[in-house]
Structure 1
Amino acid sequence: MAAIDVVVPNYNYGKYLRTCVESVLNQADVAIRVLIIDNASTDDSRDIAHSLAQDERVELILRESNAGTHASFNEGIDWAQNDYFLLLFSDDFLVPGALKRATDIMEQNSAIAFCYGRDVAVHGDDPVPIMPGRTSPVAFRLHKSRAFIESFCRRAVFQIPGSSVVVRTEVQKRAGHYRTTLPHSDDYEIWLRLAMLGPVAELDAVQVGLRTHDSNRSREFAARQLEHILHTAAAAESFFNHEGGSLEDCGALRRLARQGVVGRAYWSGIAHLLRGDMEAMRLLGFAIRSSPVSAVVPPVSYLMSRPDLAGRISSFFANSARSRHIVF
């Protein structure tokens, strides 16, 4: 039976914490340890954490002062000792069978650095949907290390539900801690580092529920498209300034990443412009300042690199009369 350590960072998400942790404890056919790290919450999180710790598989770190999210992430990495490691945010939850599916695939191929799956969206305080436990094995796609890194560079984005990422613990410890210099794109950067150490498995299965709500930091941040792109660029630069600098042809990859950032900003700007959104000027201005040639020659290669291009374009034209969003 595979053994997995799950770290649940929490700050003032007491109303979601029990659902999150119980979704881990109810996983079948895997050995579980859970560490709840509470960052000095002011709601009822501590009481709920103590209640959950009646299960001997649950351990607690309850801080008296808020040390920030990176401290929780990195303390969890230091704590982990079983074969596999998962960082699960306390407003998210696992679907039945998720950890068994992930670890089965990684047990079959000891080279895999980490795996991830798809997500189901839950809005606000809506109840967790009933999800049938999908049996193993499931289909998956194996991304070679360089191809995974190159894909990110080309598109300047990862479409990975962070709470679904199951990492081989010894690989996580080799990759090291999350970088505190990257407040909003530390996950992108560490996934690149992890991918240097082995291929990545993409599961064809829903693995996690992601909850969006008014106090969700990522939801607020995603609304500011240019800021998100700038933080993505910072993750790429940090990666190539450190571990990524040892990759063969790292200079070409860095240039590709910079081009990807420009392409993403440019086409995001075009999408905003077609909606009559003034954010378009900021996005297009950044793209043109970064690559003046894009003022006369649109970065079409970026569009062609998007596997979801046809769907995004058809969705845009189908919904343009209703001013729906298209996001690159």
Structure 2
Amino acid sequence: MPSVDVAIPCYNYAHFLPDAVESVLSQGVDELRILIIDNASTDGSAEIACGLAERHAEIQVSVHETNLGATASYNEGIDWAEADYFLLLDADDMLAPGALRRALRIMEQKPEVVFTYGIELHCPDGIVTKPLSDTEDASWTISSGRQFIEELCRIPIDIVGPNTVVRRTSAQKAAGHYRDTLHYYDDLELWLRLAMLGDVANTGEIQALRRIHTGQHSQQYRTQLQRDFHEREAAFMSFFAHEGEAFPNRSKLKHQVLTQLGKHAYWSSLSHYYRGHKDVAAELMRYARKRRGLAGLVPPLDWLFSMNHPLERLIQILREGGAR
């Protein structure tokens, strides 16, 4: 069986860490290493990590004396990885049963696939709302890297759950580190960079569980939805300024990203306006007008019909207005 390295960055997630580790240990992978990277936690996370390492030979622990930020932990994991495959798992989340075996099976069958992803089930208060399968069998859709990039530019929403991404370690090393100049969508930019190196496989199986809780480090960001559009834009522009500089139709795709973000911001603005968030709505509409020019005055109905279920998507947007 191929080998897998899993890095688990942790900052003040002592309560969640044992479950995250157990979800990896129970994957049934023989050649497995786990690196817990504690980013100067103050809640006893490092002590729990060291205790887990004493009981399980697969576990190593790296403890930072000062908080270096999440990106530094992600990149430390990349530098540490040396197995055939690599995954990053947030310490407050979990892998779904069988997730690694499913990913390894398709990647062993298809050496041109550089990374896989699947469904990341959101679990409020850690409650699992859907049945989980432990089977290795899964249906996979394989896209060329170019197709993957072009589809993300057509609908610039990050559809990839980061905890589900199993990547070839060789591809990750070639793509390089997460960029510390990107504050929230550094992972989106990395998916684009990885896709430059080969094919991408995705499955409709649940591959990871994201536990939604009040202590979540990204909670504050999700209250600033207007920032989401600027952060997504920054990720795409960073890609096209670096690894994607020579990508076919680069200028056209950059323009498409900006236009599509403007269309999405238009509908998100309406959502916030009708829910009484008029300041947020005004800022989103300014963003939409800036990205779409005079077309910003016209409702972009084509954005809705770019979705698989346009009516359901409209209802979702008007209810939530969310982007991610």
Task: Using structure 1 for the length normalisation, give the TM-score.
Answer: 0.93
Q: What amino acid is aligned across from residue 169 of structure 2 in structure 1?
A: T
Task: Give the SS at the match of 2:320.
Answer: coil
Equivalent residues of 2:103, 2:166 under 8 A apart? yes
Question: CA, structure 1 residues 25+130, in 2 after alignment: closer, same or farther (shift >3 Å)?
Answer: farther
Of stretches 233-242 and 296-305 in structure 1, the one that deviates more from structure 2 is 296-305
What whole-Å deviation, never above 9, does each CA across 1:274-318 have from its counterpart, x for those lacking one? 3332121111111112322133333333222222423223557xx
- Corresponding residue of 1:115: 116
Q: What amino acid is aligned across from residue 285 of structure 1 in structure 2?
A: R
Task: Give the SS at the match of 2:218.
Answer: helix
Equivalent residues of 1:84, 1:169 under 8 A apart? yes
Task: Give the SS at the match of 1:5.
Answer: strand
TM-superposed CA distance for 1:128, in Å, is 6.1
TM-superposed CA distance for 1:230, in Å, is 0.5
TM-superposed CA distance for 1:267, in Å, is 1.5
- Corresponding residue of 2:265: 265
Question: CA, structure 1 residues 175+310, in 2 after alignment: closer, same or farther (shift >3 Å)?
Answer: same
- Corresponding residue of 2:236: 236
- Corresponding residue of 2:46: 46
TM-superposed CA distance for 1:259, in Å, is 1.1
Separation (CA, whole Å) in 1 of partners of 2:12 and 2:189: 26
- Corresponding residue of 2:34: 34
Question: CA, structure 1 residues 35+130, in 2 after alignment: closer, same or farther (shift >3 Å)?
Answer: farther
Task: Give the SS at the match of 1:101.
Answer: helix
Question: CA, structure 1 residues 66+78, in 2 after alignment: closer, same or farther (shift >3 Å)?
Answer: same
- Corresponding residue of 1:66: 67
- Corresponding residue of 2:322: 327
Of stretches 26-35 and 100-109 in structure 1, the one that deviates more from structure 2 is 26-35
Question: CA, structure 1 residues 261+128, in 2 after alignment: closer, same or farther (shift >3 Å)?
Answer: closer
Equivalent residues of 1:154, 1:259 under 8 A apart? no
- Corresponding residue of 2:283: 282
TM-superposed CA distance for 1:29, in Å, is 3.9
What whole-Å deviation, never above 9, does each CA across 1:133-163 have from its counterpart, x for those lacking one? 4312210111221221112112221122110
Question: CA, structure 1 residues 280+114, in 2 after alignment: closer, same or farther (shift >3 Å)?
Answer: same
Unaligned runs of 5+ in 2: none
1:246 paired with 2:241, answer: no
Separation (CA, whole Å) in 2 of partners of 1:30 and 1:70: 29
- Corresponding residue of 2:90: 89
Equivalent residues of 2:85, 2:167 under 8 A apart? yes
Separation (CA, whole Å) in 2 of partners of 1:22 and 1:221: 28
Of stretches 34-43 and 24-33 in structure 1, the one that deviates more from structure 2 is 24-33
Task: Using structure 2 for the length normalisation, give the TM-score.
Answer: 0.94
Unaligned runs of 5+ in 1: none
What whole-Å deviation, never above 9, does each CA across 1:202-235 have from its counterpart, x for those lacking one? 1120111101111213233123221011000000
Question: CA, structure 1 residues 61+114, in 2 after alignment: closer, same or farther (shift >3 Å)?
Answer: same
TM-superposed CA distance for 1:195, in Å, is 0.8
Equivalent residues of 2:269, 2:321 under 8 A apart? no
Separation (CA, whole Å) in 1 of partners of 2:148 and 2:19: 33
Q: What amino acid is aligned across from residue 201 of structure 1 in structure 2?
A: A
Listed as ranges, the matches of 1:121-160 within 5 Å are: 121-124=122-125, 126=126, 132-160=132-160
Of stretches 179-188 and 214-223 in structure 1, the one that deviates more from structure 2 is 214-223
Separation (CA, whole Å) in 1 of partners of 2:67 and 2:321: 37
- Corresponding residue of 1:225: 225
Equivalent residues of 1:35, 1:61 under 8 A apart? yes
Listed as ranges, the matches of 1:2-13 within 5 Å are: 2-13=2-13
Equivalent residues of 1:7, 1:34 under 8 A apart? yes
Of stretches 195-204 and 185-194 in structure 1, the one that deviates more from structure 2 is 195-204
Equivalent residues of 1:145, 1:200 under 8 A apart? yes
TM-superposed CA distance for 1:105, in Å, is 0.8
- Corresponding residue of 1:15: 15
Task: Give the SS at the match of 1:8.
Answer: strand
Separation (CA, whole Å) in 2 of partners of 1:268 and 1:52: 44
Equivalent residues of 2:267, 2:321 under 8 A apart? no
TM-superposed CA distance for 1:100, in Å, is 0.2
Equivalent residues of 1:265, 1:283 under 8 A apart? yes
Aligned-residue CA RMSD (Å): 1.8
Question: CA, structure 1 residues 296+129, in 2 after alignment: closer, same or farther (shift >3 Å)?
Answer: closer
